[in-house]
């Protein structure tokens, strides 16, 4: 019995040995296959596919320093410096004299602006006097000047010499592109110098260089909000809350931005459907919520300026346009206020605003067309203004115009006058009828609003084609008078 047990045990042990040997051969074959596939994808520039195979190779043979090194180089090509450093560190644990990994580690540390750590790694590669020795020396010789530029940048920032500070950081970032702290510092300098767009670009890059950078998203959201780009601000603050739903600063800012964004959208939607009273209500709520951030207030003021042009309170339109222009002088807003001036027959002021718009943008189509229109209207006003004749606003409806015509026609009907006064009444009555004819005809009114009098004899469209002001009066009013009237 003992003999059989010993024989079975020996046989079992032999089977386990060959099974393990066979598994080792299979696993080795799989690792080599993954390495070959990784090299193939790497040669074709398909870095993510190459990385997947190197992951599998590392799992299959966790003690192979070359596998870690190859994966580290792919991480480096993908710009994932943190993971590249980990792989190169693992290589040096397994094989401390592998200078290629030490050199690459020094390169990464330098690009991250870890000057002292980079100095140690590159110095060790240089004194080894092997592969990469010359390259290590070239990089090592630049480290002192980089360290000096870091000190200079801080000095300039503290002394508010923003331009010099930015120049120092430009040189640093050229050699240290993976250092988020340098991007953040330059972003602050750009902000201080008023270059908001460059500040945003640097801060966005810094956020991408760091994993789970909630503070970066918060800062971006605040900057976007400060310049009135509310939808972008909302997008960034939501990214912050995705990373950390309990982030207090992000949560507080989110509540404000969400409300403002909703009101801006609602106000614009109301304008689009010509519901100007609702647009005014939404815009005023924005002003109530936001007392300090000028560019957010500008958005509300611009909508109030636009909406009030379609109400009976044109003076409020001019007020809100002027308030908005104190914050930001844009050609569109100058044109908007100019249209308000035209509606109030203030043609000199309209011409001035259109000229301001063209000073900002010489090719601005609305300003060019508006300036011609305002000048034509100014000349026209010197001759005849049908709106003034009927005493109605330029925004009056057809019903309001007819009502004003009837009132004026009754007042100035020639049968109400005698002698010399009758002649003046005749002239006035014809002007009133002409005003009604033009302003109740959409085509003729549109021409008049562009500064062209459709009844001007010079245009060849004068009202000599059977036009009878008394017939017009009877048609729209019904005469309460019995009269005989002859044209002389």
Supply the Cα-derived Rg of the chain in whole angstroms: 40
pLDDT of residue 19: 34
**Measured between alpha carbons, how far is 211 from 324 in angstroms, rounded to an integer?**
40
Residues contacting 72, CB < 8 A, separation 6+: 83, 84, 86, 87, 88, 91, 101, 104
Mean pLDDT of all residues in 417-445: 83
pLDDT of residue 465: 45
Mean pLDDT of all residues in 135-145: 94
Mean pLDDT of all residues in 206-226: 93
pLDDT in tens, 62-101: 999 999 999 998 988 888 888 999 999 999 999 999 999 9
How many Å separate Cα 446 from the centre of its chain? 36
Q: Residue 63 is encoded by which pair of tokens? A: 């003690």
Lowest average pLDDT, out of 26-30, 79-83, 173-177, 395-399, goes to 26-30
Q: Find out whether 149 and 142 touch, Cβ atoms under 8 Å.
A: no
Placement of tokens 């592109």 in the chain: 177
**Angle 427-406-485 from CA coordinates, rounded to 5°:** 45
Q: State the chain's mean pLDDT as an integer.
A: 86
pLDDT of residue 21: 35
**How does residue 265 score in pLDDT terms, banded at 50, 70 and 90?**
very high
The upper half-sphere exposure of residue 112, i.e. CA atoms within 13 Å in the direction of its Cβ, equals: 21
Q: What is the DSSP string of 68-129?
A: HHHHHHHHHHTT-HHHHHHHHHHHHHH-TT-HHHHHHHHHHHHHTT-HHHHHHHHHHHHHHT
Asked if the model's pLDDT at residue 487 lies above 50, the reply is no
Asked if the model's pLDDT at residue 212 lies above 90, the reply is no
Domains of the chain: 398-450 (1.10.287.110)
Distances (CA, A) of 133 to 120, 123, 125, 127, 352: 13, 9, 6, 7, 70
3-state helix, strand and coil shares in percent for the chain, rounded to the nearest 5: 80, 0, 20
pLDDT of residue 394: 84
Task: Give me the count of residues in the chain.
Answer: 488
Lowest average pLDDT, out of 291-300, 316-325, 442-451, goes to 442-451
Residues contacting 159, CB < 8 A, separation 6+: none
In terms of average pLDDT, the best of 121-135, 339-353, 360-374, 466-480 is 360-374
Asked if the model's pLDDT at residue 285 lies above 50, the reply is yes
Q: Residue 180 is encoded by which pair of tokens? A: 């988020």
Lowest average pLDDT, out of 6-15, 150-159, 165-174, 382-391, goes to 6-15
Asked if the model's pLDDT at residue 235 lies above 70, the reply is yes
**Measured between alpha carbons, how far is 427 from 412 in angstroms, rounded to an integer?**
9
Tell me the pTM. Answer: 0.71
Q: Residue 103 is encoded by which pair of tokens? A: 């050199």
**How does residue 486 score in pLDDT terms, banded at 50, 70 and 90?**
very low
Lowest average pLDDT, out of 37-51, 153-167, 244-258, 261-275, goes to 37-51
**How does residue 328 score in pLDDT terms, banded at 50, 70 and 90?**
very high
pLDDT of residue 419: 64
Query: Residue 125: which of 160, 96, 145 has the closest Cα?
Result: 96
């Amino acid at each position: 019995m003992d003999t059989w047990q010993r024989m079975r045990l020996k046989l079992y042990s032999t089977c386990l040995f060959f099974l393990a040997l066979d598994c080792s051969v299979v696993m080795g074959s799989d690792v080599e296959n993954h390495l070959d596939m990784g090299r193939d994808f790497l040669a074709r520039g398909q870095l993510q596919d190459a990385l997947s195979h190197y992951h599998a190779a590392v799992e299959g043979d966790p003690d192979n320093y070359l596998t870690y090194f190859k994966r580290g180089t792919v991480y480096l090509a993908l710009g994932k410096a943190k993971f590249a450093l980990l792989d190169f560190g693992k290589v040096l644990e397994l094989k401390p004299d592998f200078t290629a990994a030490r050199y690459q580690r020094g390169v990464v540390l330098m690009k991250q602006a870890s000057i002292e750590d980079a100095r140690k790694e590159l110095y060790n590669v240089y004194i080894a006097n092997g592969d990469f020795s010359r390259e290590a020396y070239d990089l090592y010789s630049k480290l002192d000047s980089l360290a000096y530029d870091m000190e200079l940048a801080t000095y300039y920032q503290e002394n508010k010499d923003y331009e010099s500070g930015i120049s120092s950081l430009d040189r640093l970032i050229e050699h240290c592109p993976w250092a988020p702290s340098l991007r953040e510092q330059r972003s602050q300098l750009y902000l201080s110098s008023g270059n908001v767009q460059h500040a945003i670009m640097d801060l966005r890059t810094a956020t991408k260089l760091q994993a789970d950078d909630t503070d970066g998203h918060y800062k971006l959201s605040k900057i976007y909000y400060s310049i009135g780009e509310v939808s972008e601000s909302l997008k960034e603050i939501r990214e912050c809350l995705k990373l950390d739903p309990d982030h207090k600063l992000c949560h507080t800012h989110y509540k404000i931005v969400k409300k403002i964004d909703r009101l801006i959208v609602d106000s614009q939607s109301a304008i689009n459907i010509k519901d100007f009273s609702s647009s005014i209500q939404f815009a005023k709520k924005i002003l109530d919520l936001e007392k300090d951030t000028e560019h957010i207030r500008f958005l509300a003021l611009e909508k109030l300026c636009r909406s009030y042009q379609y109400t009976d309170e044109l003076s409020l339109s001019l007020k809100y346009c002027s308030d908005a222009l104190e914050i930001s002088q844009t050609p569109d807003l100058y044109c908007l206020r100019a249209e308000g001036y035209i509606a109030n027959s203030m043609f000199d002021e309209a011409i001035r605003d259109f000229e301001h718009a063209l000073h900002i943008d010489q090719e601005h189509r609305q300003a060019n067309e508006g300036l011609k229109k305002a000048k034509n209207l100014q000349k026209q006003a010197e001759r005849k203004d049908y709106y003034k004749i009927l005493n109605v606003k330029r925004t009056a409806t057809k019903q309001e115009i007819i009502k004003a015509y009837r009132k004026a026609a009754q007042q100035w009907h020639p049968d109400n006058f005698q002698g010399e006064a009758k002649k003046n009444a005749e002239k006035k009555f014809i002007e009133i009828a002409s005003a009604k004819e033009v302003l109740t005809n959409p085509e003729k009114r549109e021409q008049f609003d562009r500064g062209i009098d459709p009844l001007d004899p010079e245009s060849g469209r004068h009202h000599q084609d059977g036009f009878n002001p008394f017939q017009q009066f009877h048609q729209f009013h019904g005469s309460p008078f019995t009269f005989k009237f002859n044209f002389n």
